[in-house]
Every structure is written in C-alpha cells, then in structure tokens.
C-alpha cells in the first residue's frame, strides 16, 4: 500500500515531566488519518502527585479542567477502539516512547508500530534551522498558534506527515516497507550549513538605514517585529554563524518566508514604531513590549490605595506593576505597627523576621540614621532619591526588576533543597538599599514619562549633527503640533505607557552618546 493511502493515526502525549516513574501522562490526543476529528482526553492524576504549576502553564491546562479528567486506563481503552491496527505517527517519538512502553505494560496492551516524523525530517532536511514540531509545521505553511495542547500538536503532526510523504515519494520511497528500509539504512545527515526558506536577496538588498523589520510566514502572519539602527546589518545578523545559535530564533527563521521593512529617520523613531507594531500584530516570537494582560497602576498620595485608572485620588503613576513599591510599603507597615514586627515576605521570598530586623538596623547604621526616621514614606522616598542622585549612571531598570523579583524568588525556593544560601545581615542591608533605589527610580520615571505625553522634542544624534523634530500630543506622535490640555493618563493603556517608556530610554541613549536633546512641554 502506498504511504499516502496508508491508514495511520497521529498521537501526542502531554506529561507532567520528562521521564516515566517520576512523571505521568497528563493528556492523550489523537486523530485518524482519514478523519478530521481530533480527540483529546485529560488523564486523572494521583492525589499525592499534583500537576506542577509550571506544567499547567506550559500546556495551558487549567486546574479546573483536571476535575473532569478520567483514568488513563479508560483513555487507552477508547484509543485502541479507534486505532485498530494502525501505526502511530508521532513527532519526536523519542519523548513519547518510554511513556507508551510503560502504559503498554501496565494495561497489558499490544504495542503499535511508531513512525517518527522527526527522524524522517532529519534525513530529508538536514540543513533546516529547526526541525521541532513548531518550526517544521510552520515551514510547511501550517499556522500553529500558541501550540500548547495535545490537539494542536496532533494537527501539526498530520500536516508534517502529509508533506513528508510527498518528499519521500519524490525520492522513490512510496510504501511503508520502503520507508522502514530507508530509515534503517539512511543515517541522519550532519548539518553543514543552515538553509533558510527566505530568499537571500530579500535581506542582502536591504538599505543600511534605521527602521523596523517584520518576519512574515507563508500564511501572512507577522512572526516577529524588531528595530534596527541599520536594517541591512541587523537583519543579516540573524543568518550568520552555525554554533551556539538561539533555538527560539532558529524556529522562527524556519517559518519566515518574507520580510517587510519600514525605513525611519533615526533609531529613536524606529524604536517608537517597533513598540506600536508589536501591539498591533502581537507576534508569537516577540517577548518584550507585548500588551498581553498587562495594565497600568496609579497610587494615592499616601500609597494606601491604587487604581487601574488615573483619577483625582490616584494620581501617582503610571506604573506597570502593582508590586513596584511592595517592599517599601511592607517596611513602612512593619515600622509603624505596635510590635514593629518585620513582614517575612517583604522581599517576595520567606525570610526570617529577626534577620530582616537586624539587616535593616545595619542599613540605618550605615546611613547614620535612626530606624524611626523611615516610619514616613516620604523619608523612604527621599532616601531613595539620595541614592539615585549619588549614582546617576546606574541603569533605571526599576519596574523590570520589580516584575521579575517574584519569579526569581520562586526559582530560589524551588532549588532550596539543592543549594541552601544563608543570607547575612549585610545581604539584607544591601537588599534594602536596592529596593529604596528601585522605588525612587520608578517614581522619577513615572514623572518623566508624564512630562513627555504632550511635548515638542528637538534632538540630534551628535553635537553638530542634523536636528530632528518630534511632536507628541496625548502620548502619540503627530506631524502637526497643537495646543493640548494638561498632561493626564486618563483613558490611556499600556500601549501609551510602553511608547513613553521607550521614548524616555531612547532620549537618554541619545544624551549618553553626546547627542543633543531639547524637550518643551506643550499644554
């Protein structure tokens, strides 16, 4: 029977880890080659083996969905009723095989033959940048989306198989026996030089000017948006080198068939266009500057309440994270409480309250100040501003650090059993100084961004270079400057926040490289 007519079924397993015994099958998804329907079933988990949160996040499976999960034995019973004697087609079967073997033994089921599309692709496309399921499916023109659940993997595997069968037939391999013989005799070829689907001319002919570039798939999806000081140099840098390449970028380049570029006058303007384009297209392979579910936060003057919208009561902001002042607020609460007991969760990870207290005492001793001074939030911010003033060249990564801290703290707790790090009072004192600085940086940054909402900017990239004008009204660049009401964030979203944050960073970069910047507020 010809491969294209061979009845097969496509299979994918989602698991709670990498190896059977330490991990369990979480989801089984399959589809028959002559049917469109995809079956997906969640497997009930043992009470003493809960699904790690990381796995739920990776697979997109909600904890509530597991409440209706069914025993794995019943899933395999249904699977075998469907598949009859068909072979399974799996992408990267090396992962599924150990789990399937364990299930065969546990449920006393006969093993079905397995065809691995990854092994076929390694022989047919030795120089393709990526042969993972996402990259290969995209190479063949399949829009895979988020690609988390088993059903999406099954659909992609079906597309991959259909295209591989055509490639095999072109080589004279048309039956299952032919394919098995070929796989056993044809060793995987070593990659010599990456071969990309995009025509070289598209990138080699790019101009050496600032701008924004967009990688585009076969089906017209914008895969990635980036900015460049030189479009030619930046885009072509993605295609250089063989070793140590970023697998995430290689997966994207495997799917990129076209390129769309927009030339800009300066790198500053390309950075502004980039953030807006990322919001517009929400590209799968961009990480930073995506709107996602982010929102803005505004605080009241005493920081006792916050709001997602700026109003008369909440006018301190904007900030992109409610946790930006969390540590200093917890410190203030600790100092003003009757017991003056330090909150163990002050720095997102559980720490000994007495260690926090001794570390803060050392922090105050370094400053020559009494701890009581910092019962006032104003004093905390004032000290933070002193730190910033004395270290003006430090990078203002305030809110990024604040957003990442909970995640990194979780990583610390996850590995605590393997590596136990004993913090000292000196370490805690250093932490307090960092968090004072972060709070001050965030506050100053919000004020500076607000001033940029309505302004006229004149800048040059060097002391005697050409001067460029940029007009902003209501947070948007405009060719025709007009008068505007006083700066306000009312009605603005994270789109405007990112645009102002990018503009502020780019203006600071121009100044740092001996450029000239003049900003006039217009309201």
Q: Is 425 in contact with 355 (CB distance < 8 Å)?
A: yes
Tokens of 166: 């055509």
Any domain includes 93: yes
What is the tens place of the pLDDT at every residue in 371-389?
A: 999 999 999 999 999 999 9
Domain termination residue (choose one: 156, 185, 214): 185
For 455, phi then psi, to 5°, come to: -160, 165
Residues 140 and 24 reside in one and the same domain:
yes
330-366 burial, b for 16+ CB within 10 Å, e for fewer? bbbebbeeeeeebbeebbbbebeeebbbbbbebbbee
What is the tens place of the pLDDT at every residue in 410-425?
A: 333 333 344 457 899 9
Q: What is the pTM of this model?
A: 0.86
Q: Residue 140 and residue 505: Cα distance in Å, rounded?
A: 40
Residues 330 and 438 reside in one and the same domain:
yes
Any domain includes 299: no
Percentage of the chain exceeding pLDDT 90: 80
Residues 263 and 333 reside in one and the same domain:
no
Residues 72 and 112 reside in one and the same domain:
yes
Gyration radius of the chain over CA positions = 29
- Give the residue numbers spanning the domain of 483: 450-521
Tokens of 202: 């598209």
pLDDT for 410: 36
Residues 49 and 104 reside in one and the same domain:
yes
Beta bridge partners of 519: 457
Distance of CA 167 to the CA centre of its chain: 34
Angle at 309 between CA 306 and CA 315, to 5 degrees: 65
Tokens of 137: 């499916």
Q: Residue 159 and residue 118: Cα distance in Å, rounded?
A: 13
What confidence tier does 186 reach under pLDDT thresholds 50, 70, 90? confident
Any domain includes 191: no
pLDDT-wise least confident of 9-13, 112-116, 211-215, 484-488:
484-488
Domain termination residue (choose one: 162, 185, 208): 185
Any domain includes 12: yes
Q: What does the pLDDT average to over 480-493?
A: 80
Interstrand relation of 297-300 and 306-307 (parallel, antiparallel or unpaired): antiparallel
Q: Is 26 in contact with 43 (CB distance < 8 Å)?
A: yes
Residues 36 and 159 reside in one and the same domain:
yes
Tokens of 107: 């449920």
Into how many domains does the chain fold? 4
Among 422, 421, 329, residue whose Cα is nearest residue 376: 329
Residues 162 and 255 reside in one and the same domain:
no
As a residue count, the chain comes to 523
pLDDT for 484: 66
Residues 378 and 484 reside in one and the same domain:
no
Where does residue 366 fall: left (phi above 0), alpha (psi -120 to 50 degrees), or beta otherwise?
alpha
**At CB < 8 A and 24+ separation, what contacts does 449-452 make?**
449/318, 449/497, 449/500, 449/501, 449/504, 450/318, 450/487, 450/489, 450/500, 451/487, 451/519, 451/521, 452/500, 452/503, 452/504, 452/519
Tokens of 74: 């019943």
What confidence tier does 312 reach under pLDDT thresholds 50, 70, 90? very high
Q: Residue 260 and residue 376: Cα distance in Å, rounded?
A: 54
SS (H, E, C) 346-374: CCCCCCCHHHHHHHHHHHHHHHCCCHHHH
pLDDT-wise least confident of 139-148, 353-362, 495-504, 509-518:
139-148
Any domain includes 146: yes
| CATH for 131 | 3.30.420.10
Q: Hunting for tokens 């393997």 — which residue is that?
A: 418
Residues 21 and 140 reside in one and the same domain:
yes
Say whether 444 sits in a helix, a strand or coil.
Answer: helix
Percentage of the chain exceeding pLDDT 70: 93
Residues 355 and 440 reside in one and the same domain:
yes
**How high does pLDDT run on average in the chain?**
91
Any domain includes 501: yes
What is the tens place of the pLDDT at every residue in 392-410?
A: 555 444 333 334 343 333 3
pLDDT for 486: 65
Angle at 351 between CA 350 and CA 352, to 5 degrees: 130
Any domain includes 313: no
Any domain includes 296: no
Residues 71 and 171 reside in one and the same domain:
yes
Residues 437 and 460 reside in one and the same domain:
no
Q: Hunting for tokens 């006039």 — which residue is that?
A: 520
Domain termination residue (choose one: 185, 209, 241): 185
Q: What does the pLDDT average to over 322-349?
A: 90
What is the tens place of the pLDDT at every residue in 44-93?
A: 999 899 999 999 988 989 989 999 999 999 999 999 999 999 999 999 99
Tokens of 441: 């940086």
Helix (H) or strand (E) holding 169: helix 150-170
Q: Hunting for tokens 């600790």 — which residue is that?
A: 334
């Amino acid at each position: 029977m010809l491969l294209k007519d061979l009845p097969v079924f496509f299979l994918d397993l989602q698991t709670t880890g990498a190896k059977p015994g330490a991990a369990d099958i979480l989801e089984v998804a399959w589809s028959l080659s002559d049917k469109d329907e995809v079956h997906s079933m969640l497997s009930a988990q043992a009470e003493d083996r809960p699904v790690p949160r990381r796995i739920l996040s990776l697979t997109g499976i909600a904890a509530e969905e597991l409440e209706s999960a069914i025993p794995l034995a019943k899933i395999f019973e249904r699977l075998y009723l469907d598949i009859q004697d068909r072979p399974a087609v799996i992408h990267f079967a090396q992962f599924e095989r150990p789990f399937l073997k364990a299930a065969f033994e546990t449920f006393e089921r006969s093993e079905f033959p397995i065809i691995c599309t990854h092994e076929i692709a390694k022989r047919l496309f030795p120089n393709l940048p990526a042969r993972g399921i996402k990259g290969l499916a995209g190479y063949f023109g399949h829009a895979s989306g988020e690609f988390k659940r088993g059903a999406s993997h099954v659909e992609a595997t079906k597309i991959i198989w259909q295209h591989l069968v055509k490639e095999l037939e072109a080589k004279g391999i048309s039956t299952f026996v032919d394919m098995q013989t070929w796989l056993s005799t044809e060793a995987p070829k070593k990659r010599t030089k990456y071969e990309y689907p995009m025509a070289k001319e598209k990138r080699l002919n790019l101009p050496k000017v600032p701008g924004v570039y967009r990688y585009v798939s076969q089906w017209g999806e914008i895969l990635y948006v980036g900015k460049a000081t030189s479009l030619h140099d930046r885009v072509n840098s993605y295609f250089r080198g063989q070793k140590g390449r970023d697998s995430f970028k290689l997966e994207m380049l495997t799917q990129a068939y076209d390129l769309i570029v927009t030339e800009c006058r300066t790198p500053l303007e390309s950075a502004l266009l980039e953030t807006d384009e990322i919001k517009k297209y929400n590209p799968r392979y961009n990480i930073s500057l995506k709107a996602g579910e982010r929102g803005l936060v505004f605080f009241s003057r005493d920081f006792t309440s916050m709001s997602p919208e700026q109003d008369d009561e909440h006018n301190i902001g904007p900030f992109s994270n409610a946790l930006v002042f969390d540590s200093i607020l917890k410190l203030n609460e600790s100092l003003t409480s009757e017991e003056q007991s330090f909150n163990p969760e002050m720095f997102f990870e559980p720490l000994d309250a007495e260690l926090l207290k001794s570390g803060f005492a050392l922090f105050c001793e370094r400053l020559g100040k009494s701890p009581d001074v910092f019962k006032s939030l104003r004093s905390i911010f004032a000290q933070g501003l002193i730190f910033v003033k004395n270290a003006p060249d430090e990078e203002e990564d305030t809110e990024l650090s604040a957003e990442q801290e909970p995640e990194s703290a979780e990583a610390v707790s996850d590995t605590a059993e393997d590596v136990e790090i004993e913090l000292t009072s000196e370490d805690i004192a250093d932490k307090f100084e960092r968090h004072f600085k972060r709070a001050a940086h965030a506050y100053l940054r919000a004020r500076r961004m607000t001033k940029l909402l309505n302004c006229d900017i004149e800048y040059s990239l060097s002391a005697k270079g050409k001067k460029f004008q940029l007009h902003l009204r209501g947070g948007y660049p405009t060719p025709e400057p007009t008068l505007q009401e006083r700066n306000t964030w009312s009605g603005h979203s994270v789109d405007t926040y990112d645009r102002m944050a990018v503009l502020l960073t780019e203006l600071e970069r121009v100044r740092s490289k001996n450029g000239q910047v003049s900003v006039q507020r217009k309201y």
